[in-house]
């Protein structure tokens, strides 16, 4: 009995994944992980056997989705890097607004 988990992630910046000769654009992607049970326990535990990154076409565009088998560790690194870049960009934007007096004053 295999199972598949899916999650949707948003990349805010272009990214690359080791082992794949492709530059990925910012946007939403689906990550599907197929897992199989580990035999022998009283509780069913699963281990991942394949992780796939799916790029869907932009809304309203008629074209096929693209699929890449990816290394989950490389994907985790790319997600962490994008998150760090996003947080840094948000902090820089806040600092720029507060430095320019664009933020409303508190009462």
Q: 106 in a domain, yes or no? A: no
Cβ contacts of 38 within 8 Å, gap of 6 or more: 44, 45, 46, 47
As for how many domains the chain has, the answer is 1
This model's pTM is above 0.85: no
Q: Are 9 and 79 in contact (CB under 8 A)?
A: yes
Q: Is residue 104 situated within a structural domain?
A: no
Per-residue model confidence as pLDDT tens for the chain (107 residues):
899 999 999 999 999 998 899 999 999 999 999 999 998 878 889 999 999 999 988 788 888 999 999 999 999 999 999 999 999 999 999 999 887 544 455 44
Specify if 28 maps to a domain. yes
In a domain, 13, yes or no: yes
Structure-derived torsion over alpha carbons of residues 5, 2, 48, 63, reported in degrees to the nearest 10: -50
Domain that holds residue 48: 3-99
């Amino acid at each position: 009995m295999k199972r598949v988990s899916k999650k949707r992630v948003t990349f805010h910046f272009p990214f690359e994944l080791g082992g794949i000769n492709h530059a990925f654009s910012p946007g939403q992607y689906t990550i599907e992980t197929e897992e199989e049970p580990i035999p022998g326990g009283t509780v069913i535990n699963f281990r991942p056997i394949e992780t796939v990154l799916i790029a869907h076409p932009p809304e309203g565009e008629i074209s096929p989705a693209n699929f890449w088998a990816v290394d989950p560790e490389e994907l985790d690194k790319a997600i962490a890097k994008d998150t760090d870049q996003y947080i840094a960009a948000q902090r820089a934007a806040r600092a720029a607004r507060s430095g320019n007096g664009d933020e409303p004053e508190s009462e």
